[in-house]
């Protein structure tokens, strides 16, 4: 049976995610890929996998992009909408839990908190400065301890007495962890201390001055870490809802938004098709000397033709 899907693409520094939702808003396909510093290659690989999933007669009727590489992705596929991460994550959270009031999102390189009022984001904060509040911090410490990151959280749950680790800064946290190892603390207690340090960092920085009300959704790749989930429950005193598609919620949300956008605009999509990435895409930067801003403008070329620009403050190129 022929299916119509809406496509959501979330291009981040750590992962590039794809989601297909059907006409009722249900996720029918998801894909999580490592970006590995090469977003164009990740987009080409992801679109190839999406094409393999589609059956003859299936059609993508809407497409949206989000994440730090959302403009690049939009230029490559000619997306119908481009949305920031806050909007995309809020849309997905409301679809999963219509009464959600707080969204905790921790990814590989950044973290966010979103406060909602009747489904509308009314306050938010993002951390893109210190790695101590992100998944990359846990990845690095797991590698140091020679423990698979998938098992990191289970070690924390076995702790009887978590150690206190300074979590305000990734450098201090790492040196503090090494000191605790040298003092002979059990590994489980050190890992539990690391999980609690990350949660304290999040609550003392991003959530400072914000009222965290239930229902609380925990999204992003770090939501798979049961040690972090347990630490949040301890400090917040409330349960957290982990969505089924916690790791691709940005792509899920922008797919839903793209579907609504196309419907509101007559049902016609600008999406170029799943084969659209089979062209020679290149990115280059130029420094505009038109004024004292000296903007670094990013140019996207498709088969040698410029198809998009951004990065200018005045809008001269964009």
Q: Where are the domains positioned within the chain?
A: 4-90+250-264, 98-242, 281-310
The residues with which 11 forms a beta bridge, in sequence order, are: 16
pLDDT tens for the chain, 318 residues long, are 789 999 999 998 888 999 999 999 999 999 999 888 888 889 999 999 999 999 999 999 999 999 988 988 998 899 999 999 999 999 999 999 999 999 999 877 778 999 999 999 999 998 755 655 577 778 888 888 888 878 888 888 998 888 888 766 666 777 887 888 888 888 899 889 888 988 888 888 888 889 999 999 999 888 989 999 999 999 999 999 999 999 999 999 999 999 999 999 888 999 988 887 777 777 777 788 888 888 887 777 777 777 776 677 777 776
Backbone conformation region of residue 68, classed left if phi is above 0, alpha if psi is from -120 to 50, else beta: alpha
User: Residues 261, 80: contact at Cβ < 8 Å?
Assistant: yes
User: Residues 226, 156: contact at Cβ < 8 Å?
Assistant: yes
- Structure pTM? 0.86
Cα 87 to its chain centre, rounded Å, is 12
User: Residues 125, 207: contact at Cβ < 8 Å?
Assistant: yes
The residues with which 297 forms a beta bridge, in sequence order, are: 286
Match domain 4-90+250-264 to its CATH number in 3.50.50.60, 3.40.640.10, 3.40.50.920, 3.30.420.40. Answer: 3.30.420.40
The kind and range of the H/E element at 181 are helix 170-182
Assigned fold of 98-242: Nucleotidyltransferase; domain 5 (3.30.420)
User: Residues 270, 79: contact at Cβ < 8 Å?
Assistant: yes
User: Residues 249, 140: contact at Cβ < 8 Å?
Assistant: no
């Amino acid at each position: 049976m022929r299916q119509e899907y809406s496509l959501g693409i979330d291009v981040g520094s750590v992962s590039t995610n794809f989601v297909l939702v059907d006409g009722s808003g249900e996720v029918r396909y998801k894909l999580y890929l490592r970006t590995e510093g090469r977003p164009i290659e990740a987009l080409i690989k992801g679109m190839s996998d999406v094409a393999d999933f589609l059956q003859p007669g299936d059609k993508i009727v809407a497409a949206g992009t989000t994440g730090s590489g959302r403009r690049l992705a939009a230029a490559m596929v000619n997306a119908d909408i481009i949305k920031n991460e806050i909007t995309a994550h809020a849309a997905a959270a409301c679809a999963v839990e219509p009464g959600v009031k707080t969204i905790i999102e921790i990814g590989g390189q950044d973290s966010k908190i979103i406060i909602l009022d009747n489904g509308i984001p009314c306050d938010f904060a993002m951390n893109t400065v210190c790695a101590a509040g992100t998944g990359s911090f846990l990845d690095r410490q797991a590698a140091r301890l020679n423990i698979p990151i998938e098992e990191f959280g289970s070690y924390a749950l076995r702790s009887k007495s978590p150690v206190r680790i300074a979590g305000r800064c990734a450098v201090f946290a790492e040196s503090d962890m090494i000191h605790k190892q040298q003092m002979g603390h059990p590994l489980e207690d050190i890992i539990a201390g690391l999980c609690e340090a990350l949660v304290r960092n999040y609550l003392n920085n991003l959530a400072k001055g914000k009222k965290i009300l239930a229902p609380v959704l925990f999204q992003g790749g770090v939501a798979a870490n049961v040690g972090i989930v347990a630490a949040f429950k301890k400090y917040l005193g409330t349960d957290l809802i982990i969505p089924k598609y916690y790791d691709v919620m940005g792509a899920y949300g922008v797919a839903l938004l793209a579907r609504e956008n196309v419907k509101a605009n007559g049902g016609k999509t600008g999406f170029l098709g799943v084969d659209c990435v089979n062209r020679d895409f290149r990115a280059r930067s130029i420094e505009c000397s038109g004024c004292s801003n000296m903007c670094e403008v990013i140019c996207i070329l498709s088969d040698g033709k410029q198809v998009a620009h951004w990065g200018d403050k005045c809008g001269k190129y964009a």
